[in-house]
Amino acid sequence: MGDGYETFTMVWCQRNIEVGYQTNWLNSGHWHIELRCAERLPVTETGYRSHFVPEGAFSGEDEIRTYVLAWLDEAARDPNWARYLEDSKQLKLF
């Protein structure tokens, strides 16, 4: 992560995710949150996601952690995510 970022690691559905965050990113009045994971997540096919949230939304790391978990849980309800998980369990011949 770049300068001024705080980071923590969390586990969601057996995936290790590094979360970086910075308040008032570039004096924009927004938090910048970055997710980095070696595996696909329901919010990103590549394992990386950059996300902006209005500055007053959080008071610190615990609230960011709660937000990220809820965000992932909500995105995981998408039928495409369930299909991806099922397909990734099976060998594909074609």
SS3 62: helix
30-37 and 6-12 beta bridge pairing: unpaired
Query: Which residue intervals of the chain are DSSP H helices?
Result: 61-75, 79-89
Which pLDDT tens digit goes with each residue over 37-68? 999 999 999 999 999 999 888 888 899 999 99
For the entire predicted model, the pTM comes to 0.85
Whether 19 and 64 have beta carbons less than 8 Å apart is answered as: yes
Which pLDDT tens digit goes with each residue over 61-72? 899 999 999 999
